[in-house]
Structure 1
């Protein structure tokens, strides 16, 4: 069964393209026709490095290990739980009117903290989406799902539409001042946590990091492979790492961290 799963990787565009390029380069080298192979070989090497080796996982691990993992039961108490956005998007076609993605751990972890009594209120943040001239809020639809669909009666509030992590930090800082919050539990993906903590700290919010949504293969059970066939997850992982690196540089340039 494992062999079948491995072979199915070659049906996917990424695996199929890598296989064709590997076979073609191997044929050219075997025939000793090596002229003009520098760029194709460089493309193959980059693709192989980031989709077939642990390099992506190592890079992500450098971000995810900045703050220690913590169990819900062991988390400290605070004045509020801040669930950062990025885990869902408004939808006009889904039955629940919300489409959750792989970052949904941000929501489930925040709910775990709230039900354990780690803070008296949970604030959901998120981006803004425009459809046919009308604006929709990620935070609004997530809160609506929790309260109207799941019928939760917990103290959960929406921060409304936010542009980015900096905008979320500024709005939470204003809310913290208004409600006299001394510290908050900040819940977001482990890879995003270093930048999030830096932004919130610069905005004047004292936070306790609660990282979740670990995506490095080194943090997943049963994934101990070294070199493997091309995997889309590795490409998605390097995309996340680059997003954080570029985001850090941009935020630093703007004076937000």
Structure 2
């Protein structure tokens, strides 16, 4: 039940969900004054969370900063968390696949392998079972394995953990693999910068010591151009969805005792 609600109700706790909710209420209300107030509130939500200066400051506070390449990882295992690395919404020929928004996660794990910082990449992420989820999404771990193989990673250096459906289970099942197969309770953790705070806390809750190595940054260099203050940006509003989802996700996990 927690898995279902965690994957479906997050939308209502994001700026996009708030905007849609306010506009729907504005359409349903019969009082002109209330309709104007709700419409104005919706515009305020879009402007605030589309403000690139404001959202960049929030992202800089929340995201894990870029990390140096670790040099002391025992057994040198990188745990790569799946989620959004493959674009499954477009059909392509030749049994190939397209990369998605979170593909930099795989790129960071590949970089660690290529420079010799890790010897093994443990891909953590299994199949979802929601009725509205596309079935080919469930193959992301296998797809990323194919990408790593094409990039020169040896087959014996890739391990798949295919049971986990969320971040809590990523940590739970990866911890077992680390201890049973690699005889260690340490790893280099690779995921997006916005997701890293929750992911690292989940792994530490399972008594796994992690060296965070984030990618897919929402934040950027500070910019104070006048247009950034005045005009909302659609890309910034989209990024606000991922950032707010992670903040609320961390709070929910804290209540559940997962972090």
Residues 65-114 of structure 1 deviation map (CA, whole Å, 9 limit, x = unaligned): xx442243xx2232201111114247483345433212111111111111
Shift of 1:36: 6.2
Spell out the pairing of 1:74-113 with structure 2 (5 A cutoff): 75-78=70-73, 79=75, 80-89=77-86, 91=88, 93-94=91-92, 95-113=94-112
Number of residue pairs aligned between Structure 1 and Structure 2: 218
Q: Distance in 2 between matches of 1:102 and 1:228?
A: 27
Distance 1:68 1:36, change over 3 A: closer
Cα distance in 2 for residues equivalent to 1:160 and 1:99: 21
Q: 1:158 to 1:90 in 2, by over 3 A?
A: farther
Given that 2:87 and 2:100 are in contact with CA atoms closer than 8 Å, whether structure 1 keeps it comes out as: no
Deviations along 1:29-84, one digit per CA (max 9) or x if unpaired, are xxxxx9963332222222111113422222221111xx442243xx2232201111
Equivalent-residue separation in structure 2 for 1:113 and 1:124 (angstroms): 14
- Structure 2: segments with no counterpart, 5+ residues: 1-15, 17-32
The residue that corresponds to 1:9 in the other structure is none
What residue number does 1:42 align with? 41
Are 1:140 and 1:160, in contact at CA under 8 Å, matched by a contact in 2? no
Report if the CA contact (8 A) 1:197-1:207 is conserved. Answer: yes
CA distance in 1, matches of 2:41, 2:87: 40
Q: Secondary structure at the match of 2:194?
A: coil
CA contact (8 A) 2:85 2:104 kept: no
Post-superposition Cα deviations, 1:167-217, rounded to whole Å, max 9, x if no partner, equal: 110111101211211411011111111111110000111111112211124
SS at match of 2:165: coil
Shift of 1:243: 0.9
1:132 and 1:43 map into 2 onto residues whose CA distance is: 31
Point out the structure with max Rg over C-alpha: 1
By how many angstroms is 1:153 displaced? 2.4
